[in-house]
Amino acid sequence: MAQKGIRPWTELVKLHPDVEAGALTEAVFAIDLGAIAEKDPNVPVVYRDPEAFFKATYLTADMRRLLEEVLASLAGKAGYNRVLKLRTPFGGGKSHTLAALLHAACSRKALKTIPEAKGFADPGTVKVAVFDGEKFSATGKKVKTSSGDEKTIQTMWGWIAWQFGEEKFKLVEDHDRKRVSLGGDEIKELLKGGPKLILLDEVLKYMERSAAVAVLDSTLQRQTKDFFQNLTVEVSGSKNCALVYSLTWSSREALGNVALLQEIDHLASRVDQSREPVSGDEILYVLQKRLLSAAPPEDACREVSEAYSEIVTNMMCALAETSSARKQADEDGLALRNRMRVAYPFHPALIDAMKERWCSLDEFQRTRGALRFLASCLHALKKEGGARALLGPGEVPLKNAEVRVKMLKELGAQNDFDAVILADVVGPNARAKRIDDRMAQETPAMSGVKPATRLATAIFIFSFGGLKRGGDKDSETLPPGVTEGELLAACVGPDLDSTTARAVLGELKNACLYLHYDGVHYCFKKDPNVTKLIEDAEKEVARHQEEVTVRIKEMLTQRLAGHHDAVVWPTDSRAVSDEEPRFLVGYLPLEFARGTRADQEKQAVEIFSNYGNKPRKFRNGIGLAIPDKKQIESLRRAVRYIMAVERVDSKKSQHRLSKEQQDQLKEQRRTWEAAAESGFRSLYNAVWLPRVENGGLGIEAVEVGGRPLQATGVHERIMELLTKAGTPKVHSTVTARKVADRVRLGEGGVVCIKTAEVVEAFYRDIAPPRLESMKAICSAIAKGVGEGMFGYGSGNVPAVMGDGKAQVSREKVVIGRQVSEDEIDLEAGWLIWPSALPEPLVSGQPGKPFEEPGMPPAGPVPGAPDEPARPIGGFRNSVSIRFRATRDQVFKAFQAIANLADRSDEGKVTIQVDGISEKGYDSAWLRNAVEEPLDEADVEKE
C-alpha cells in the first residue's frame, strides 16, 4: 500500500533475476568454495562465473584492501601480510570473500570489470589451492591421475599439493599416505615456483573430524595442526605466496570445542593478520548488490528516507525532556535518514535485527541465512502485493508460508512458533487481526494500515536473539525483546503516527496469548503469557456452566445484600414472600430468559396469583425483574474470566509467574470485574407488574428503553425505573384523600375501619398507587388526622349505631391535631369519619353542634383550598373547579379531571377552556391544532 503519496518499493525496485523468479533454494545463497574451484556446472552462475560474481558483489573497504594485499603478495611485492585470517559475523561472508580471492587470482579479465580493482597488482598466472574443511573427509578424497588411475588423497597437505600439480604432489605423496605432517623444508619446497594462493575454509570443522583418525601414536588432528602452523610460517616468509583461512566468529560456533578453536587461532597468531571484510553499514550495500539487479532510483531513496526520518525524529523530540536530548534526537534523525537512503528498500531496523540480534543464535547462518530470508520476503511481496514504501520489521510477510518457514528454519525454530503466529500475528483469527478489523470498522482509513499486525510482526522479528550488553561483540548477550521506543522507531511512518501505535500496542499487550512484557521489553515466546493461561483456564471453566451460574447468583446476591425487598432468583411462587404487606421485587433467574413469551407470562402470572398452594394475598406488592437475554452471554463471559483469573492466581507458584505477570493478572481481574459490573447493571432492564386484564391477571411491562437511569446499583436502578422514570409505578408517599378513597371511608355507610384493612387494601387490590412500604400509609394517616379529614383511635373498633354515630368517647379519638407517624398503629388502630363522631350540644342553643378543641369548624377553614367545605355527611352534589394552568400542568391535571368524570352523572363533566392571546390565534393553526383534534376526540361542544 502506498503511504500518503509515497509509492511502494515494488513499483520502483528491480529485483535480481533469481529473486524475481523465486529461485531461492539454499544452493543459490550457499557458496561451495570447492565446487567453484573445480568449475562444477551445478554451481549457480552468479558464483561460478567470475564476471557475474563481481557484478553481484559489493567490494567493501576491507575487501578491497584484502584483494590488494593478496594480489600484491602474489606479485612478489614486499611489505604486505601474506597470512590472513577471516572472521566475519555477518554480511559478505567468509566463503564469499574466499571466492572473491579465487576469481581475482584466476580471472584478471573479470576483475578489471569493476572500477574498484583499478591499480591492483597483476601477479600473472597463479596456482590456487582450495581446501574446504566442511566437504573434505577425514578419510580422504578420491581423484584421478593424468594416466587415469584412481588415487586417494588422505590429508590437507596432500590435497593442497595435488591442486598445485602432480609433480608437486609427488613431493608429499609419502607424507600423505602415512598421514604425517610436512616439515618446514618440505613446505618450502612445495611453495617454490610461481605465485601460489592457498585458501582454507572451515578449518575447524575438518580438524574436529580428524581427531577420530589415529596416526601411529598420534592423530590426524595433531598432525594437521602441526602442518597448519608450519604452513603459516613458511608462507609468511615466502616471496610470492599467500594464505587466507577462515575461522568462526565466536566460541559459540565452535561445535562445542572451544579449546580447539582457541588453539587453531593461536597457531598462526605470530604471523597472521585478522580481517573483517564487511563492517558497519557496508552490509546495506552488500544486500542491495546481491538482491537487486540495479541500484534503486535516487529520488525514491531520498523521498522515503526524508518522510520516515521526519516522523521518527519528531517522535523522539517529543519525548526529549532537555535541550541536549532534543539535539541528540535531531542528530539521530539525521543519521537515520542517511541510513535509510542507503538501505532502501529495506528499513535499517530490519537489517539491524538480523545483524545485531539474530547473529547471537548459533543456528543463524549469517550471510546466506539473511540473504535467503530477505530474498523470500522480496519475492513474496512482489508476487502477492501488499508492499509498503519500505520492507521493515513490521512488513515481513509472515502470512506467506514460504517466508515463515524460511525464517524459522534459519533461526532454528522450525515449527515451534506456529501456534504463536496463528494465534497472535497473522492467523485467520489472530488477536492482531481482530484489533485491525475493529479499527477498520471504526475508521475506514485505517483498513490498509493494519497497525496491530504491523506492530505484532515487528515484535516477532525482535523476539529472536538478543543485543550484546554495551554493544561489545564479546560481551554477554541480553535476552530477546524490544522496547517500546525501539519498536515505534521501526514501525511508525507517514501512515502510522506514534500516538496510534502506542494505543494499539497497549491493546496487543492485553489481547495476545504469547506476547510477554516484563515492564520494559516486548517479546513473543513459545510459552503462553498470562492472557493465554487465562484463556486456557476460561475454556476449562466454560465446560462447567452450572458453576458459572452459581457464581453469578452469588455475585448478584452480594449486590442485593441489605435490600430486604429484593428476592434473588425465586424458583417458584413460594420463594416470593406473602407474609407481610410490602413491595417486593423478584429477580428472576437467567434460565427464565430462554423460555418463550407465553411460557414466561404463564410463570409470571403464577407467581402473581399464588403463594405456594394458596392464593396470593398481597398481589399489589410484587414486581418481577426480567433478565435481558441479550445481556446474559456477555455477563457469563465476564464471570467465566473472573473465575479463570482466580484459577491462574491459585496456581501462580506452579506457573512461576513473575512479579510483572502477577501485576498483569491483577489488571486482568480488574478488567473483567468491571465488565461483570457493567453486565449486572444491564441484566435487568424490565419489570413486570400484575394488572387486571379481562377479568383476570395480566402483565404490565415497565422497560428502561431509551431512558437513562442515574443509579448504578442493580436494585437501585430497578427502583428508579419504577419510581422516577416516566410515570411512576411505585410510590413512596400517598395522600390522606387517597387513603380514604381506597377504603371508601365516608361512602356507603363506611364510617369506621381498621388501619390493618387500609394496609391490606393497598397491597391486596391491584390498583394504583403501589406503595414501597407501609410507612407511606402511616405518614398519610398522620397527615389526614392533622387536617381533620378523619379521626384516629386504637384498640377495639367502635360499633356504629343506626344513626351512623359510633359508640366511642370523643377523648379516645384524635382529630384535627398533629400526630407523628410513630403514633400510628397499623395493626391495632382504626380510622373514623368525622360524621360518625358523637356531637354534644352547646347548652342553651338546641341543634347547634358543640365544637371541641381540635375539631374542624362547620364553616370554611382559613387557609384551606378554595372549594366548598365538605359537608359533615361526606357527600356533595356538585364540584366546580377553576384554575389557570401551563401546558405541563394541563397534562398533569388530565388524570384528576378523568377521575372526576368517572364519578359524575353519565360519566361526564363539563369543561370550559378560556385562552387569551394579545397577538391573536392564527385561524389555520387553531383549526389544525385545536378544533380538529377535539372533533376527532368526539367531544360534544356546547
3-state SS assignment for residue 740: helix
What digits encode the pLDDT tens for the residues 679-709? 999 999 999 999 998 888 999 999 998 778 8
Are 723 and 717 a contacting pair, CB within 8 Å? no
**Burial classification of residue 92, based on how many CB atoms lie within 10 Å of its CB (0-12 exposed, 13-18 middle, 19 or more buried):** buried
296 closest CA partner among 10, 3, 2: 10
pLDDT band at 30 (very low <50, low <70, confident <90, very high): low
- What digits encode the pLDDT tens for the residues 892-934? 788 788 888 888 888 888 888 888 988 888 876 787 678 767 7
- At 545, the amino acid letter reads Q
Residue 718 — very low, low, confident or very high, per pLDDT cuts 50/70/90?
A: very high
Sign of CA pseudo-dihedral 428, 429, 434, 437: positive
User: How confident is the model at residue 276, as a pLDDT?
Assistant: 67
CB 73 within 8 A of CB 244: no
Q: Which residues contact 180 (CB under 8 A, 6 or more apart)?
A: 215, 216, 223
* Per-residue pLDDT, 693: 87
Determine how β-strand 214-215 pairs with β-strand 218-219: antiparallel
- Please count the other Cβ atoms lying within 10 Å of the Cβ belonging to residue 525: 16
pLDDT at 865: 42
pLDDT per residue as tens digits for the range 52-63: 888 888 888 888
Domains along the sequence of the chain with CATH: 17-275 (3.40.50.300), 293-527 (no CATH), 536-723 (no CATH), 732-836 (1.10.10), 887-936 (no CATH)
Q: Please, which pLDDT band fits residue 461 given cuts at 50, 70 and 90?
A: very high
| pLDDT tens digit sequence for 489-525 | 999 999 999 999 999 999 999 899 999 988 889 999 9
3-state secondary structure of 836: helix
Asked if residue 71 has pLDDT above 50, the reply is: yes
> What is the rounded CA–CA span in Å between residue 392 and residue 409?
20
Rg (CA), the chain: 49
Angstrom distance (rounded) from CA 254 to CA 133: 13
Question: Is a pLDDT exceeding 90 seen at residue 284?
Answer: no
**Average pLDDT of the chain to the nearest whole number:** 86
Average pLDDT over residues 264-277: 63
* Residues 660, 519 contacting (CB under 8 angstroms): yes
CA 737 – CA 864 distance, rounded (Å): 14
Is the confidence at residue 97, as pLDDT, over 70? Answer: yes
Give dist(CA 703, CA 722) in Å, integer: 9
> pLDDT of 840-863, one tens digit each?
544 444 434 434 444 444 444 343
For the entire predicted model, the pTM comes to 0.63
Q: Report the 10 Å Cβ neighbour count for 40.
A: 11
- pLDDT for 304: 95
- pLDDT tens track for 291-321: 898 889 999 999 999 999 999 999 999 988 8
Q: Which three cell numbers stand for residue 5?
A: 503519496
* 421: its cell numbers: 503466529
Closest CA to 214 of 267, 139, 286, 281: 139
CA distances to 841, 847, 850, 859 from 844, in Å: 9, 10, 11, 21
Cell numbers for 801: 349505631
d(CA 475, CA 472): 5
Ramachandran assignment for 519, one of left (phi > 0), alpha (psi -120 to 50 degrees), beta (any other): left
pLDDT tens per residue across span 786-842: 999 999 999 999 998 878 888 888 889 999 999 999 999 999 999 999 999 987 544
Output the pLDDT for position 896: 84
CB contact set of 470 (below 8 Å; sequence gap of 6+): none
| The pLDDT of residue 569 is above 60 | yes
